[in-house]
Structure 1
Amino acid sequence: MRESMYSALFGAMSNELRLDTISNNLANVNTTGFKKDSYAFHDTFQRFAHDYLTDDRTNIRGKEIWPKAYVMARPRLSGQYSDQAQGSMQVTGNPLDLALVGKGYFKVRTPEGDMLTRSGSFRLADDGRLVTEQGYDVLGDGGSTVTLPRDNKIVVDGTGRISADGVQVGALDLTDVSDPKALEKVGQNTFRIKKGSNATEVPAQGLSVQQGYLEKSNVEIVTEMVNMMEAQRAFEISQKIMTTTDGMESLVINKVGQIS
Structure 2
Amino acid sequence: MNRVMFTATNTLSQLQKKMDIISNNLGNIETTGYKRKETYFNDLLAQEFKNQGRDDKEKGRLTPIGIRMGTGAKISQSRLVLTQGSLKTTDRNLDAALTKNDQFFKIRGDQNTVQFTRDGAFYLSPTDASGNSMALVTGNGQAVLDEFDRPIVIGGEINNISFTENGQLRAATENRGVQTFELGIISVKKPQFLEQKGTNLYALPQGLNTLGVTEEEVFTRLEGGLRGEISMQQGVLENSNVELSKEMTDLMNVQRSYQFQARTITMADQMAGLVNGIR
Provide the TM-score with structure 1 as the length reference: 0.85
Structure 1 match to 2:37: 37
Stretches of structure 1 lacking an aligned partner (at least 5 in a row) = 52-61
- The CA deviation at 1:7 is 2.2
1:180 aligns with 2:177: no
Structure 1 match to 2:104: 105
Q: Which residue identity lines up with residue 136 of structure 1 in the other structure? A: Q
Structure 2 match to 1:79: 77
- The CA deviation at 1:25 is 0.8
1:226 aligns with 2:249: yes
Deviating more after overlay: 204-213 vs 86-95: 204-213
- The CA deviation at 1:199 is 4.2
Structure 1 CA distance for aligned equivalents of residues 241 and 270 of structure 2: 45
Structure 2 CA distance for aligned equivalents of residues 22 and 118 of structure 1: 20
Q: Deviations over 1:185-223 (max 9, x none)?
A: 012211112232414231346431111111111111111
- The CA deviation at 1:235 is 0.9
Structure 2 match to 1:59: none
Structure 2 CA distance for aligned equivalents of residues 16 and 182 of structure 1: 22
Q: CA 1:78–1:156 in structure 2 vs 1: closer, same or farther (change >3 Å)?
A: same
Q: Which residue identity lines up with residue 263 of structure 2 in the other structure? A: K
Structure 2 match to 1:202: 220
Structure 2 match to 1:241: 264
Structure 1 match to 2:235: 212
1:145 aligns with 2:146: no
Stretches of structure 2 lacking an aligned partner (at least 5 in a row) = 59-64, 128-133
What is the SS of the residue equivalent to 1:11? helix
Deviating more after overlay: 208-217 vs 145-154: 145-154
Structure 2 match to 1:54: none
Structure 1 match to 2:276: 253
For the 8 Å contact 1:47–1:72, the answer to whether it is kept is yes
Cα RMSD (Å) of the superposition? 2.3
- The CA deviation at 1:109 is 0.7
- The CA deviation at 1:78 is 1.3
Structure 1 match to 2:62: none
Structure 1 match to 2:116: 116
What is the SS of the residue equivalent to 1:225? helix
Q: Which residue identity lines up with residue 193 of structure 1 in the other structure? A: L
Q: Deviations over 1:101-144 (max 9, x none)?
A: 11211101122311111111110002300001111110114122
For the 8 Å contact 2:158–2:171, the answer to whether it is kept is no
Structure 1 CA distance for aligned equivalents of residues 5 and 240 of structure 2: 39
What is the SS of the residue equivalent to 1:229? helix
Structure 2 CA distance for aligned equivalents of residues 47 and 4 of structure 1: 13
Q: CA 1:30–1:150 in structure 2 vs 1: closer, same or farther (change >3 Å)?
A: farther
Q: Which residue identity lines up with residue 161 of structure 1 in the other structure? A: Q
What is the SS of the residue equivalent to 2:22? helix
Structure 1 match to 2:61: none
What is the SS of the residue equivalent to 1:252? helix
Q: Which residue identity lines up with residue 98 of structure 1 in the other structure? A: A
In percent, how many aligned pairs have the same letter? 31
Structure 1 CA distance for aligned equivalents of residues 186 and 78 of structure 2: 23
Deviating more after overlay: 13-22 vs 79-88: 79-88
